[in-house]
């Protein structure tokens, strides 16, 4: 297998044996041992001292609660089981009905061509052919649709086009600030716009997005406004439009499908610069964040299975360790295996520590946190890995435990699999791409009106999957299942297995603006805690890559606007930095000359701060400070992951 791996993998393995890394793991081992002793010796932990039990609910001790608790849990469990059987029975009826009734003859052949595509261009051609066969082109040309404001988009598109052709930069800029660069303006990003076709959406929406991009380029190339005004405009557009983030779910070794998702996004050059991962997804997110796009293209292939060995121990060793310590795997061994290249990781975010509110760790909230300890903490599933001590790197390079809110941290996905609010707060994320492979969640994703790139076959895509009766029954059962799960959670009926509150694992938000659902093979569940073989990893990468293709069009439609804003913002920032450098040199020269003449010289941006009559178009001290902040923000365009 070493002969199959590219030279880059051999370079990666060198990092595992660096002296500093091994010394850090030794400090981690000592911290884990010390805190374990501290916990074992604490008979009655209090609320003020960090503890393994911190944040757990106080159970009611009333006799009535004790009397009816478990009978009620048993009764609810029976109801849930019956509803689950009915739910999946309905799903199977719909699947077979669609297969036998609709996918026959020419339609079947076209769908097979779609499924057997080997690259995105082939898939796109097959999708367009299916749309033509099913008369979807007529739906695309028709402007009316209840899920977006077509009249508003048509009006704005015409105005932007008119002013752009007339070279009226001021009007174009005003329209873009007021409407064109607003996130989801006119509901143009609503995913339901893409659920009625295999590829594409309403032509009104497509033309609007194309016109916004042309108008942004027009403003950036215009000579009628100064570079400073352009900079302010694109900075405002950047804040208004927001950023895109890729969120990778957990799922144990099923999370290796994320490699294919990342590869599919890379192939179209639309991999977001902000990446978050939970549980097993944090490991894949860390790999993506530690390397450039070119390196990722080289790394992500089936040969990397030679480096993925966290579950290589025999089953009897895992079982013995579970009996002795309550965890199947050794945290120190995993720490050694996650050493490669961690020191290059600077910006990464994911939730962990499910006892206190879940934390988002990134270069803003925890700049000194060592990445391998954070990844282990996010992967610390009860029964699989013991709670982890987070480590931080001090100025002198030594590693010490991170005591923020609890001595030990574990998988935060039990409460927050997708930290959407934190992403918006820290990185102004307004559009999320979610790769969801959690086995207990993905099986319940079902769109009764069709999904992106997979419209409903009933009534030529305009009806309900399986008809309205079956669709309504499916929806009713899903809502009723959630109702009973909320009852279990709110009444605190579930016992805490492995000292964890499991009531949140089905009651979260698991979808994003676009949700990618790789088609998981049944056998992957059998190997859920097993290292991948070459063939299995090859299947997972290809399946993950193909699952991206139906979602690429809505993602790229947004990405073209976001990337245009970012490109112009970076170019204008570089011009401003260059001008400031020249201005600084000129100020130094003038100050030297003024000193020789015994006259004090003060640069204009300092004077303007002292003079209240200067307006905001001058280079005031406030503007200069704001510009320093802007530099920090725009630097994150390249490397804030």
Q: Which residues are catalytic?
A: 279, 411
Residue 428 φ then ψ, to 5°? 55, 40
Which one, of 345, 367, 486, 361, lies nearest residue 419 by Cα? Answer: 361
Residue 246 φ then ψ, to 5°? -105, 125
Query: What residue has token string 């339609």?
Result: 107
Which one, of 212, 326, 314, lies nearest residue 559 by Cα? Answer: 212
- Token digits of residue 571: 């170019």
Q: How far apart are CA 356 and CA 359, in angstroms?
A: 8
- Token digits of residue 637: 């365009």
- Token digits of residue 36: 């374990």
- State the virtual CA torsion across 293, 294, 295, 297 in degrees, nearest 10: 90
- Token digits of residue 140: 């695309």
Q: How far apart are CA 358 and CA 414, in angstroms?
A: 9
Separate counts of helices (H) and strands (E) for the chain: 24, 10
- Token digits of residue 567: 């490109």
Q: How far apart are CA 215 and CA 220, in angstroms?
A: 9
Count other C-beta atoms under 10 Å from residue 328's C-beta: 20
Q: How far apart are CA 515 and CA 550, in angstroms?
A: 11
- Token digits of residue 187: 């509901």
Angle among Cα 479, 480, 484 to the nearest 5 degrees reads 120
Cβ partners under 8 Å of residue 237, min gap 6: 176, 177, 181, 216, 565
Which one, of 353, 363, 373, lies nearest residue 416 by Cα? Answer: 353
Query: What residue has token string 């400070």?
Result: 625
Q: For residues 365 and 426, is the Cβ–Cβ distance under 8 A?
A: yes
Count other C-beta atoms under 10 Å from residue 335's C-beta: 24
Q: How far apart are CA 331 and CA 563, in angstroms?
A: 40
């Amino acid at each position: 297998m070493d002969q199959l791996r590219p030279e880059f993998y051999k370079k990666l393995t060198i990092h595992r044996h660096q002296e500093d890394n091994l010394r850090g793991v030794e400090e981690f081992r000592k911290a884990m041992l010390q805190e374990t002793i501290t916990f074992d010796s604490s008979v009655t932990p209090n609320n003020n001292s960090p503890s393994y039990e911190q944040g757990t609910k106080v159970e009611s001790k009333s006799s009535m609660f004790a009397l009816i608790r478990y009978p009620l849990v048993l009764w609810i469990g029976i109801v849930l089981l019956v509803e689950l059987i009915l739910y999946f029975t309905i799903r199977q009826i719909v699947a077979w009905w669609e297969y036998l009734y609709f996918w026959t003859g020419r339609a079947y052949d076209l769908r097979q061509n779609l499924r057997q595509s080997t690259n995105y261009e082939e898939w796109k051609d097959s999708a367009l052919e299916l749309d033509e066969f099913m008369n979807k082109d007529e739906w695309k040309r028709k402007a009316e649709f209840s899920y977006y404001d077509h009249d508003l988009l048509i009006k704005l598109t015409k105005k932007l086009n008119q002013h752009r052709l007339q070279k009226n930069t001021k009007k174009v800029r005003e329209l873009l600030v007021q409407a064109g660069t607003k996130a989801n303006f006119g509901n143009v990003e609503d995913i339901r716009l893409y659920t009625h076709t295999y590829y594409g959406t309403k032509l009104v929406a497509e033309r609007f997005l194309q016109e916004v991009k042309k108008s942004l380029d027009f403003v950036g190339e215009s000579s009628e406004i100064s570079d400073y005004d352009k900079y302010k405009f694109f900075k405002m557009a950047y804040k208004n439009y927001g950023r895109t983030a890729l969120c990778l779910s957990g799922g144990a070794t099923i999370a290796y499908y994320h490699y294919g998702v990342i590869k599919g996004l890379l192939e179209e050059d639309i991999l977001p610069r902000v990446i978050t991962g939970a549980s097993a997804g944090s490991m894949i997110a860390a790999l993506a964040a530690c390397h450039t796009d070119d390196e990722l293209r080289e790394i992500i292939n089936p040969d990397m299975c030679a480096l993925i060995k966290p579950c290589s121990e025999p089953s009897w060793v895992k079982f013995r360790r579970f009996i002795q310590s309550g965890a199947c795997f050794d945290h120190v061994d995993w720490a050694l295996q996650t050493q490669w290249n961690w020191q290059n990781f600077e910006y990464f975010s994911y939730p962990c520590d499910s006892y206190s509110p879940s934390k988002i760790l990134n270069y803003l909230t925890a700049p000194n946190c060592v990445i391998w300890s954070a990844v282990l903490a996010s992967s610390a599933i009860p029964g699989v890995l013991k709670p982890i001590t987070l480590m931080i790197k001090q100025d002198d390079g030594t590693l010490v435990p991170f005591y923020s809110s609890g001595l030990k941290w574990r998988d935060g996905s039990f409460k927050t699999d997708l930290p959407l609010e934190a992403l918006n707060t820290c990185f102004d994320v307004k559009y999320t791409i979610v790769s969801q492979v959690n086995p207990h969640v993905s099986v319940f994703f079902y769109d009764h009106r069709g999904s992106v790139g997979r419209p409903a076959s009933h009534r030529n895509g305009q009806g309900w999957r399986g008809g309205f009766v079956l669709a309504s029954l499916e929806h009713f059962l899903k809502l009723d299942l959630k109702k009973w799960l909320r009852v279990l959670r709110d009444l605190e009926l579930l016992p805490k297995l492995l000292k964890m509150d499991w009531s949140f694992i089905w009651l979260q938000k698991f979808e994003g603006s676009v949700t990618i659902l790789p088609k998981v093979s049944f056998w992957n569940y059998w190997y859920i805690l097993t290292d991948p073989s070459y063939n299995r990893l090859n299947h997972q990468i290809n399946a993950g890559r193909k699952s991206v293709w139906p979602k690429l069009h809505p993602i790229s439609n947004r990405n073209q606007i976001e990337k245009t804003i970012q490109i112009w913002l970076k170019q204008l920032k570089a011009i401003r930095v260059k001008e400031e450098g020249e201005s600084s040199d000129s100020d130094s020269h003038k100050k030297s000359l003024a000193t020789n003449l015994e006259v004090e010289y003060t640069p204009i941006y300092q004077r303007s701060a002292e003079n209240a009559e200067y307006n905001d178009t001058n280079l005031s001290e406030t503007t200069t400070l704001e510009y320093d902040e802007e530099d920090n923000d725009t630097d994150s365009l390249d490397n804030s992951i």
